[in-house]
A and B are shown apart, each in its own frame.
Chain A
Amino acid sequence: MSRARVYKTEAIIIRHQDFGEADKIITLYTPYIGKITAIAKGVRRPKSRMGGHLDLLTRSNLLAAQGKNLDIITQAHLIDSFAPLKAELWRLSCGLYAAELVHRFTPERLPHASLYNLFTVTLERLGKYDKGELVLRFFEMRLLDLMGYRPELRKCSSCSGVIQPGPNYFSSAAGGVVCEECHSARPLPNDRAVSVNAVKVLRVLQGESFETAVCLKLGRELASELDYVLRSFITYILEQEIRSTGWLDTLRRLENTVSPGLSPPGTP
């Protein structure tokens, strides 16, 4: 694909890494180019004109020049800093988790405007709603759709029979829910029992609008079941651990031991 030597794009910063004396290598997610890695010169100096416009989880308008290896960001101007998201540790950490998922699911320079939109509204929602867990689960389900891994939740992924309320299994290898007979006939290593309520919630997350889904009330147990099911499915697809989950777990534990302050994960 040929591109203009200097190009303009909107982008969300999903990763950064120090480079050289005062530079940074920045990973951007853009609507029409997809994921790009670019270098931003001098942004670690306090007097940098771009520094504040290129922090993590920031949506900015950029001007970049094509480089030999990495593109070079020459101008940056902030559109949205997602301030409500960054005001709280739990929300911010959820945002970083979403950014890691986008990073791990996407190859470089493969445009996907719908994913960009989903990611943007997710960061807005994480700042707006107290139900961080629910926002993340909705994001994960829609991300799986967009990436072509939509889990089958109504029919058995093995025998195509309609899933009945009762003991069922979520099979990462089969790509969805499997009925008990199929599971006992041919158990796969990543199968795990899934409750009737969890299947119902997953169906709502998959089929209904966000406005409907956000009205769901998840108890702590159901929330952690959903987290576990989707996490193991995503880990199975990507064949690698999502590193931020460890940090989210740390925060959940902290929430259970120390007095309130973060928005309680998973509670109504």
Chain B
Amino acid sequence: MEPDFTPAAEPVARLIGEFNKLPGVGPKTAQRFTYFLLKQPEEEVRALAEALLAIKDSIITCSSCQNLVETDPCPFCSSSERDSSRICVVEEPMDILALERSRGYKGLYHVLHGAISPMDGIGPEELKIKELIQRLQKGEVEEVILATNPNLEGEATAMYLYRLMTPFGVRVTRLARGLPMGGDLEYADEVTLMQALEGRRQFQP
């Protein structure tokens, strides 16, 4: 940058720089956010700043399921209504929200915080795999549902976890794969179609 010409005042440039770090926010969007906030009343801006700080101050990792929550143990792990003999393993905390929306699962969760991705240098040590094995060692778990994403890295992670869990004699299941509701058969890829055929069920209208 030219030393004698600053396009924006220092605090403004600083905020633009901070917004620019967010995923999916480019320099232009960062500028729009910044100038929008400049026009907002002070209490609005203060509320945003406080909300930002609050996520860092009050959000912790549940020592059992590794989810990002406000209390440890988290509401799932401490609830007596959840079935503690089942653990559903997901990649990200957001996946729990998606599964909870289905209202079809009453067991516990375990968040890995990623999937094995050798090319990005993400191996088992970078994920919460040790913590999952520790939960299995307590011997209360009967079933582990592998709900990692149905892509190559998710599959690799599932296969690796399966290898590690074999000695515990727990039932290991994987979320079914097949055609999405509202999908179009014509556009399905061969892998999905094959798996949908393999996993077909007795028709019960």
Spell out A's residues near B (CB within 8 Å).
Answer: 15, 19-21, 46-47, 49, 51-53, 55-57, 78, 81, 83, 86, 88-89, 92-93, 96-97, 99-100, 103, 243-244, 246-248, 250, 254, 258-259, 261-262
Contacts and interface: CB of A to CB of B under 8 A. Distances in A.
B119 interface: yes
B190 A103 contact: no
A58 B78 CA distance: 43
A99 B120 CA distance: 12
Contacts of A55: 151-152, 191
A93 B160 CA distance: 11
B153 A93 contact: no
Given A89-B163, A261-B163, A243 B119 contact: yes
13 contacts: A47-B180, A52-B188, A56-B153, A57-B152, A83-B191, A86-B155, A89-B159, A93-B118, A100-B119, A246-B118, A247-B116, A254-B163, A258-B163
A99 B130 CA distance: 28
A89 B156 contact: yes
Given A246-B118, A247-B123, A261-B163, A21 B189 contact: no
Contacts, number: 78
Given A49-B184, A247-B116, A92 B189 contact: no
B124 A103 contact: no
B191 A78 contact: yes
Nearest to B186: A49
A248 B160 CA distance: 12
Interface of B: 23-24, 116, 118-121, 123-124, 151-153, 155-156, 159-160, 163-164, 166-167, 180, 182-184, 187-192
Given A100-B119, A103-B119, A258-B163, A92 B191 contact: no
Contacts of A96: 118-119, 152, 156
Given A47-B183, A52-B188, A243-B120, 11 more contacts: A15-B119, A19-B24, A47-B180, A47-B182, A51-B189, A52-B191, A52-B192, A53-B189, A86-B155, A92-B152, A261-B166
A244 B119 contact: yes
B189 A246 contact: no
A93 B151 contact: no
B24 A20 contact: yes
Contacts of B151: 55-56
Contacts of B192: 52
A93 B152 CA distance: 10
Contacts of A92: 152, 155-156, 159
Contacts of A49: 184, 187
A243 B121 contact: yes
Contacts of A53: 189
Nearest to A19: B24
Residue in B116, B119, B167, B192 with the greatest tally of chain A CB atoms within 10 Å: B119
Residue in B116, B118, B163 with the greatest tally of chain A CB atoms within 10 Å: B118
Nearest to B23: A20
